[in-house]
Amino acid sequence: MASYAYLFKYIIIGDTGVGKSCLLLQFTDNRFQPAHDLTIGVEFGARIVTVGQKRIKLQIWDTAGQESFRSITRSYYRGAAGALLVYDITRRDTFDHLATWLEDARKYSNANITIMLIGNKCDLEAKRAVSREEGESFARENGLFFIETSAKTAANVEEAFVHTAADIHDKIQAGVLDVTNESSGIKLGPTQPNLSSFPSGSAETVRGCC
């Protein structure tokens, strides 16, 4: 089994058809499937990335856009360290619905969750219906990271997942996230990070646990 320092749990949310599953597939398998099956319920993917010389396993949950999934699966929103909130830059309605998705994410997730706003399908510039500035502005107003991606060309897909991981990692370093609390969406991996890098309070907790 590949070793890693931490496991971070992500969720991907957003309207149906914005490309959530395609982003996940591009990230985990480096391929694009133009006619992707509709997600029914939930899909699952995993990949290891490197952040600050640490190997971090991302365990990613991708849900159906139509489903209000929190109402049927406790473990979905239960402890996610990162959320990718996705809209389609060619469909205005998917941008207009962001506030509702964000409300859900805030309400049911960990207070310290890192949220990356993603404007997907940026390869379709000619069909653009939401400007980059609008996306940036929404992200700024709501304290989110922002990036435009193309699951088709793979542009910025890696960055979206890795930047989110880097922010979560920073929060661990800063002692904002407690790695022993599973609801934070973080687990220690089979190989332990250097505990001396933790603020003393967290380090104590880690030792006590493991």
Partner 1 sequence: MTTLRELGQTSQYTEQHLLSVSWKLFLEYLPGLDDIHLLWPEALHKERSHYERLHMKYIIEPSQQLNPSSDDQVSPIEGPTRPISPSVVDLSIHNPLSLAQDSPWQQYFQDNELKAIIQRDVERTFPDQPCFNQPDAQRAITDILFVYCKMHQDTSYRQGMHELLAPLWKAVNEDRFHRGTGFPSDPVVSQDNIIFQVLDARYVDHDAFALFCRIMRVARPWFEVSDVARNASANLRPRTALPGAGSDRSAGGTISDSLRYLKIAELSRATPILAKCNHIFYSLLKRVDPSLFQHLESLEIEPQLYGIRWIRLLWGREFPFDDLVTLWTALFAHDPNLVAVEWVCVAMLIRIRHLLLEGDYSTCLQHIMRYPPLTGPGTAVSSPGDGEGGPLHPTPPATQPAGCHIGPYHSNQDGAGDQPVQLGSRFPAGH
Q: What is the DSSP string of 141-195?
A: HHT-EEEE--TTT-TTHHHHHHHHHHHHHHHHHTTSS-TT-GGGTEEE-SS---G
Decide whether 46 or 195 has the Cβ nearer to partner 1.
46
Least Cβ distance, residue 188 to partner 1 (angstroms): 12
Decide whether 113 or 139 has the Cβ nearer to partner 1.
113
Decide whether 164 or 184 has the Cβ nearer to partner 1.
184
SS3 call for 59? strand
Least Cβ distance, residue 202 to partner 1 (angstroms): 14
Q: Where on the chain is the footprint of partner 1 (CB under 8 A)?
A: 1, 16-17, 33, 35-38, 40-44, 46, 59, 64-68, 70-75, 77-79, 107-110, 180-184, 209
For residues 164 and 139, give the distance between their C-alpha atoms in angstroms, rounded to a whole number. Answer: 14
Decide whether 37 or 133 has the Cβ nearer to partner 1.
37
Least Cβ distance, residue 14 to partner 1 (angstroms): 14
